[in-house]
Structure 1
Amino acid sequence: MALNDYAALQSKIIEYAEEISVDEPIADFIALAEVELNVILKHYRMETEAVLTSTANAVELPDDFLEARLIEVDGKMAVRVSIYGDVLNFDEIGYYQVGNTYKIVPEQDEPRTVRLVYYRSLTPLSDANPTNWLLTKFPNVYLRASLVQGYKYFDNPRMEASEQAALDKALALVDADHRRAFNSGNTIIFDGGMA
């Protein structure tokens, strides 16, 4: 059986773990795995872009926001400043984070256009959404992360540790793929020199 969708993942979890049957909360194991994976994963396939319009010199971050890669305000690269006071050079635009919001400084009356390139959370698997990029490209990560959660549920530390080790190896492959993609192509040049 190919491990290419939500139903196949659930079946494979049962197949791999003798303790887990169809009566167990397998969907919960997968959901808990996704929560932990969102904290540790960083991959180019998680990148997305949003163009936002400020209201009262602030933009609310998207619901799937994990980490910013680029913030431009009105076409200019924004500078991260302290929440306690901004120190900006002439013609710079700054931002700071308060909760789920980026505040833009200096303040102005007109709305601003904010281009945000960021890492987004995984699209959760479900019957309605049976696959995502991670399950398609790295099904072993989903399987191992879900099995770790299953063995936690059954309080089986020996098998949990074994699956965690397998998950760590699978995550190393995801990281290698990410680094390869980011380090390929042309050399980045700035300030007249090479990076």
Structure 2
Amino acid sequence: MSAIADYASLLVDAGEYSGRNDIAHLFPRFLGLAELKLNRFLRVAEMEIVDTVAVTNGTGTLPVDFLEAREVKNANGASIRAVALQQLTESYMGRAGIPTGYAIVGSTINVRPVGDGNLTITYYGKIPPLTPANTTNWLLDKAADAYLYSLVEEIAIWERDVGKVGAAQQLKLLAISGLKIGDERSRWGNAQVVVGGPTP
């Protein structure tokens, strides 16, 4: 097996690993399903994006690749906190001003007190999908094995082969575990432990 460098080589290797080159025309669909599942639970630094969201009358449209917020700041640069929608509505009813709280509702972000302006959002964005036009992305560059085994798992699910599904899933989870460990080390490898509580 040669190195997996792009979309085409990923599909070739998936065919070799699964032994199902005869259904290669279905691989792009399986790849989309694999990416859908990866987006549900994978959260690493490479997925973090900083963007500006314009808010009008307390409501703004989230980026199309939005998965989960890490931090939201108001126009003054102060972090605002996530709260339950009901609490957001009841606590700030009738008030206007600089937002101090927010709630995500579908593809929008609602802030209170109600106001206009820009929010700076740091969020986890979807993995850029691989296609014939978009042949590589950060995940393929960093963890091609996670991509490969995710795709092989989808092929096995289509085959209804429980044994293959289990084997591919185990390899996928090992690859993702390694990716997450590397992510944690890059974030916290040099962090100092601070113990809270009263000083004796």
Instruction: Assess same fold via TM > 0.5.
Output: yes
Q: Which runs of 5+ in 2 are unaligned?
A: 93-97
Are the aligned partners of 1:58 and 1:101 in contact in 2 as well (CA < 8 Å)? yes
Deviations 1:47-75 (A, max 9, x none): 01001221121111111011111000111
The one-letter code sitting in structure 2 at the alignment partner of 1:119 is Y
Secondary structure of 2:68's aligned partner? strand
Cα displacement (A) at 1:99? 1.4
Cα distance, 1:187–1:53 mapped onto 2, change above 3 Å: farther
Root-mean-square deviation (CA), in Å? 2.2
The one-letter code sitting in structure 2 at the alignment partner of 1:102 is I
Cα distance, 1:21–1:184 mapped onto 2, change above 3 Å: same
Secondary structure of 1:168's aligned partner? helix
Distance 1:37 1:19 in 2: 22
Between Structure 1 and Structure 2, the one with more helix by share is 2
Distance 1:114 1:60 in 2: 11
Distance 2:178 2:64 in 1: 27
Which among 180, 183, 193 is matched to residue 188 of structure 2? 183
Distance 1:66 1:107 in 2: 24
Question: Percent of aligned pairs with the same residue?
Answer: 27
Q: Which runs of 5+ in 1 are unaligned?
A: none
TM-score, normalisation: structure 2: 0.86
Counterpart for residue 120 of structure 2:
115
Deviations 1:96-154 (A, max 9, x none): 1221111110113xx22200001100000001000000001100000000000000111
The one-letter code sitting in structure 2 at the alignment partner of 1:81 is V
Distance 1:45 1:165 in 2: 23
Are the aligned partners of 1:7 and 1:130 in contact in 2 as well (CA < 8 Å)? yes
Distance 1:53 1:39 in 2: 26
Q: How many residue pairs get matched?
A: 188
